[in-house]
A and B are shown apart, each in its own frame.
Chain A
């Protein structure tokens, strides 16, 4: 509380000082050079490029879904998810130039390293189904972020169910 008051006062004082001084400098944003973002940007936007066009509308619908959700501490693929995976399997097997990154994630409950392993197991469950349906293993890369990259913030089931997921990210063409 004291600190907040301090900041408010400081801002007020800075404002008055800036008003007093004619050559007051604006805060220089460029002084804080952005450190290069080394995180792989997985090219989620590029996904649309290699889409096969002669799909049935149902398949196209399934193909537009890129996230597979899971139950708590489970890597079992639901029947609804299987349809989505099948559509992607067909797309990938018919377009050998396409490749995907399967990014596994977990909700925040439980321990972090266990969740990295759980995220990987989820991604590998999806990978297995893709390969069973004719996708070349070389078209698939698996990465797990565990609970480190939640899709939804929050500490209850409404966020958790969105975070227990595998994202299918198309890369390149």
Chain B
């Protein structure tokens, strides 16, 4: 009996371990930046005092750890290990600036988390400059328990903005497609969304037929994607909150490559209903389609410029796939397509940076498919990645990083690279393949 109890205890422990290890995506920083800014994030003080009814004895989330991990992932910061901290201040007034300066720390983040009587939490933080001995930014944020991770990401965004001059993209989401096999060795496709650090994965759709090309609506509330559930590629739009899906394009032939217009009212699509793969604009409200391209070559993978003035797409009308740009309004083309890429024999699947200045793409070089970035103004092409089957690049909404799909140890994994190619990380599933990432826009308040 005693033995059985022991086993039960072990069993519970193991389940707890496994639950933790089944966190959907794990992130490995594979390359940081030399000269990343040293920063210290002091564990936030837990200001829970006399136990109120049901109150916990420790903070329900480790805010400082989430913030430090966000900052490290950006490649711009080198948070010092907790064991190296020279004190545990929770407020600027308690900081010994000299001691932190001696440690080589430029910036210090301190704060506290306090349970309130209504069951919510008050999270306060300060970003302190060790040389000027002053506060750069500081906020008090009210949060619910289920929202504390998000609060931590919002703090990371504010710190990133204060120090880098650009809004952080930590409080954002990614979506992706996973492929695993069930016990009958059938492939199971899932469309999932998660926080930008891989946490809080939610499965949006599960099916035995291929899923492709997920695309975020600008308001972050819907995903468009391609499903083969009826035996051929068709385009769906699905609400993330309700799970309700609507089939929006099911013409004869290909229905694919959905991309939302910046105002969220239209989708650019690839349809082959009129012969071969061409670009169309589909009006979600009216249900009308307007043809953009007219060419016997393949035209596909349309994406909009952020100002909606043009669509960039892949076409093999020249020799092999290259990127082209065509000026559009809501009813079709306003110009003849203009070729954008000239380096190499394969340039496809554009993702435009949020400021419209850069285009990420799949670029073939020496037989390998890599992610490259084209600076539109100068035409300068920079190859960012080094493996051989990289695809599906997608810009973070602040333009700092590009998430993409690649192959690692014979499995499909996601990776992210900074636009300058200096910071890298890998996001991996415990089993199976993960592919076709898309980074959301900024969340709307």
Contact = CB atoms under 8 A, between A and B. Distances in A.
Interface of A: 2-3, 6-7, 9-10, 13-14, 16-17, 20, 34-35, 37-40, 42, 73, 108-114, 116-118, 120-121, 124, 142-146, 148-149, 155
A144 B410 CA distance: 25
Nearest to A2: B21
Contact of B301 (A7, A39, A114): A114
Contact of B298 (A17, A34, A39, A117): A117
Interface stretch (B9-17, B83-91, B164-172): B9-17
Given A20-B4, A109-B369, A111-B348, A13 B10 contact: yes
Contacts of A144: 233, 254
A114 B7 contact: no
Nearest to B301: A113
B69 interface: no
B390 to A, nearest CB: 10
Contacts of A143: 231-232
13 contacts: A14-B11, A17-B7, A20-B4, A34-B184, A35-B208, A73-B321, A110-B346, A112-B391, A113-B314, A114-B316, A114-B349, A117-B298, A120-B272
Given A111-B391, A114-B298, A120-B253, A38 B207 contact: yes
Contacts, number: 135
Contacts of A10: 11, 14-15, 18
A14 B4 CA distance: 11
Contacts of A7: 18
Nearest to B388: A155
A13 B4 CA distance: 10
Contacts of A120: 253-254, 272, 276-277
A108 B14 contact: no
B213 A121 contact: no
B436 interface: yes
B270 interface: yes
B17 A155 contact: no
Contact of A39 (B17, B18, B231, B233): B231
Interface residues of B, number: 52
Contacts of B369: 109-110
A17 B228 contact: no
Nearest to B299: A117
B440 to A, nearest CB: 20
Nearest to B179: A148
Contacts of A145: 210, 228
Interface of B: 4, 7-8, 10-11, 14-15, 17-18, 21, 184, 186, 207-210, 212-213, 228-233, 253-254, 256-257, 270, 272, 276-277, 298, 300-301, 314, 316, 320-321, 346, 348-349, 362, 364, 369, 389, 391-392, 407, 410, 430, 436
Nearest to A143: B232
| Residue of A9, A108, A114 with highest tally of chain B CB at under 10 A | A114
A113 B212 contact: yes
Contacts of B186: 37
Contacts of B270: 113, 116-117
B228 A6 contact: no
Contacts of A20: 4, 7
Given A116-B233, A116-B254, A124-B276, A6 B21 contact: yes
Nearest to A142: B253
A111 B407 contact: no
A10 B389 CA distance: 37
A109 B370 CA distance: 11
Given A111-B314, A117-B272, A120-B254, A17 B11 contact: yes
Given A113-B257, A149-B210, A39 B228 contact: yes
Given A6-B17, A7-B18, A13-B10, A40 B348 contact: no
Contacts of A35: 207-208
Nearest to B362: A111
A16 B7 contact: yes
A15 B272 CA distance: 56
B300 A114 contact: yes
Given A7-B18, A10-B18, A37 B208 contact: yes
Given A112-B391, A116-B254, A143-B231, 13 more contacts: A3-B18, A17-B11, A73-B316, A109-B369, A110-B364, A112-B349, A116-B233, A116-B256, A116-B270, A117-B256, A118-B298, A121-B276, A155-B389
A33 B208 CA distance: 13
Q: 7 closest A-B pairs (Cβ-Cβ)?
A: A40-B231, A148-B210, A117-B277, A111-B349, A117-B298, A113-B257, A3-B21
